[in-house]
């Protein structure tokens, strides 16, 4: 039976479920669901735990041997089977179906795998396991839900947080929930009783090359050409993925184009910035950039990013990093820029 993650605690408290499937591509949420299963089963007497990594060359018969063996150190045991590919093959599928079909009262099974798509769910082995299991399908947090999720996590940590700080963190983590949790734990240690602010969040991510991309964009917005050169060269030397920078720049340019269009149509600057969710501290940077560019130039830069995207993917000849630096310098106001064709 399918179980939503938020309903899992209620199911576990009933104590009548022995087989669990936890499936999903979001590491933190999968980990938390698995931790909950382990914790509750341990309370129910499943104090021994065996972990099996079903990778290439795995001996599937070892599962049947373990399933038929009594626990050596405890009354009950949990067999945790991790299936990284999500596909056990014919031999593995038969063993998994047989394992849950002959499971004794002293053994529980937790099967952990990536997101089980519809083709996987239609396989014979999966249907056999699911017929005896609680199937927990973990979905990533959608972008529109991320700020609400972060707010809830701050609340769980006992922290009060400014709205702008949540927005900044949502932008910075780009869906990396593990990074968000680590950052919240860090903030819990340093902020004390006061609210978490934008500066607190920015300070926490200052040393990561991933987040230096955002510093580079801010340098371009303010028109600091020498710093843009240093930062693009530094990011390349540190091995940051150029496609990540392309995606972040594309998002920024779309936002700038939308704001410039609204301003040209007579919308008040305050309303434009509010609609685009530009927090107060960033208003001067964005304003200076909008003064330098018109809608046409912002669209030209977006077209260039599309060409760079194809360069990265090998569909167009050219040096993506050199072209990327040209786009950043143009955004900063450098005059020597030539569109990337």
C-alpha torsion angle, residues 179, 185, 191, 196 (rounded to 10) = 50
Within a domain: residue 339? Answer: no
Of 138, 160, 186, which residue sits at a domain end?
Answer: 138
Q: Which two tokens stand for residue 291?
A: 């003064």
Residue in 139, 135, 137, 138 with CA at minimum distance from that of residue 20: 135
pLDDT at 340: 56
Residue in 33, 38, 42 with CA at minimum distance from that of residue 7: 33
Please indicate, yes or no, whether residues 32 and 59 belong to a single structural domain of this protein: yes
Whether residue 172 contacts residue 199, with contact meaning beta carbons closer than 8 Å, is answered with: no
- C-alpha distances (whole Å) from 247 to each of 49, 101, 208, 212, 315 are 43, 48, 18, 14, 17
Please indicate, yes or no, whether residues 239 and 328 belong to a single structural domain of this protein: yes
Within a domain: residue 340? Answer: no
pLDDT at 207: 43
pLDDT at 72: 58
Whether residue 109 contacts residue 91, with contact meaning beta carbons closer than 8 Å, is answered with: no
Residue in 94, 80, 84, 155 with CA at minimum distance from that of residue 123: 94
Instruction: Outline where DSSP puts E strands in 103-159.
Output: 107-113, 133-138
- What is the per-residue DSSP string for 198-261? HHHHHHHTTT-HHHHHHHHHHHHHHT-HHHHHHHHHHHHHTT--HHHHHHHHHHHHHHHHHHHH
Range of the domain at 306: 209-332
Please indicate, yes or no, whether residues 171 and 262 belong to a single structural domain of this protein: no
Distance, CA of 238 to CA of 233 (rounded, Å): 9
Distance, CA of 253 to CA of 214 (rounded, Å): 13
CATH, residue 59: 3.40.50.300
Model pTM score: 0.60
Distance, CA of 33 to CA of 78 (rounded, Å): 15
How many structural domains does the chain have? 3
pLDDT at 70: 66
Within a domain: residue 341? Answer: no
Q: What share of the chain is helix, strand, coil (3-state, %, to 5)?
A: 60, 10, 30
CATH, residue 197: 1.10.8.60
**pLDDT, one tens digit for every residue, the chain (341 residues):** 888 888 899 999 888 899 999 999 888 899 999 999 999 999 999 988 999 998 888 999 999 888 887 655 657 899 999 998 899 999 999 999 999 998 888 899 999 999 988 889 999 999 999 999 999 999 888 777 888 999 999 999 999 999 888 988 887 776 678 878 888 888 888 887 889 988 888 776 544 445 478 888 989 999 999 889 888 888 888 788 888 889 889 999 999 999 999 999 999 999 999 888 887 778 999 999 999 999 999 999 999 999 999 999 888 899 999 999 999 999 999 865 455 55
Distance, CA of 125 to CA of 312 (rounded, Å): 40
Please indicate, yes or no, whether residues 288 and 317 belong to a single structural domain of this protein: yes
Please indicate, yes or no, whether residues 165 and 103 belong to a single structural domain of this protein: no
């Amino acid at each position: 039976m399918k179980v939503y993650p938020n309903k899992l605690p209620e199911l576990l408290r009933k104590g009548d479920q022995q087989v669990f499937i936890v499936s999903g591509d979001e590491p933190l949420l999968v980990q938390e669901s698995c931790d909950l299963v382990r914790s509750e089963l341990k309370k129910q007497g499943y104090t021994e735990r065996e972990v099996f990594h079903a990778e290439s060359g795995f001996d599937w018969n070892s599962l049947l041997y373990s399933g038929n063996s009594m626990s050596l150190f405890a009354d009950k045991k949990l067999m945790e089977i991790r299936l990284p590919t999500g596909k056990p093959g014919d031999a593995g599928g038969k063993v998994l179906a047989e394992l849950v079909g002959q499971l004794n009262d002293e053994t529980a099974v937790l099967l952990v795998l990536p997101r089980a798509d519809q083709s996987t769910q239609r396989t014979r082995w999966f249907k056999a396991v699911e017929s005896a299991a609680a199937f927990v399908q973990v979905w990533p947090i959608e972008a529109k839900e991320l700020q609400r999720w972060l707010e809830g996590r701050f609340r769980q940590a006992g922290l009060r947080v400014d709205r702008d700080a949540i927005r900044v963190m949502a932008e910075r983590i780009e869906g990396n929930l593990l990074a968000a949790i680590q950052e919240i734990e860090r903030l819990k240690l340093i902020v004390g009783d006061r609210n978490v602010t934008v500066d607190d969040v920015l300070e926490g991510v200052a040393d990561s090359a991933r987040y230096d991309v955002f510093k580079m964009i801010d340098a371009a917005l303010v028109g600091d050409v020498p710093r843009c050169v240093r930062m693009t060269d530094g990011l390349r030397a540190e091995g940051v993925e150029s496609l990540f920078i392309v995606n972040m720049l594309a998002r920024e340019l779309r936002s700038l184009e939308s704001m410039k269009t609204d301003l040209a149509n007579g919308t008040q600057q305050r309303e434009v910035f509010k609609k685009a969710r530009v927090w107060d501290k960033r208003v001067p940077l964005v304003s200076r950039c909008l003064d330098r560019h018109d809608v046409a130039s912002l669209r030209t830069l977006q077209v260039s990013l599309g060409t760079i995207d194809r360069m990265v993917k090998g569909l167009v000849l050219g040096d993506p990093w050199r072209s990327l630096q040209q786009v950043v310098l143009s955004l900063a106001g450098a005059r020597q820029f030539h569109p990337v064709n």
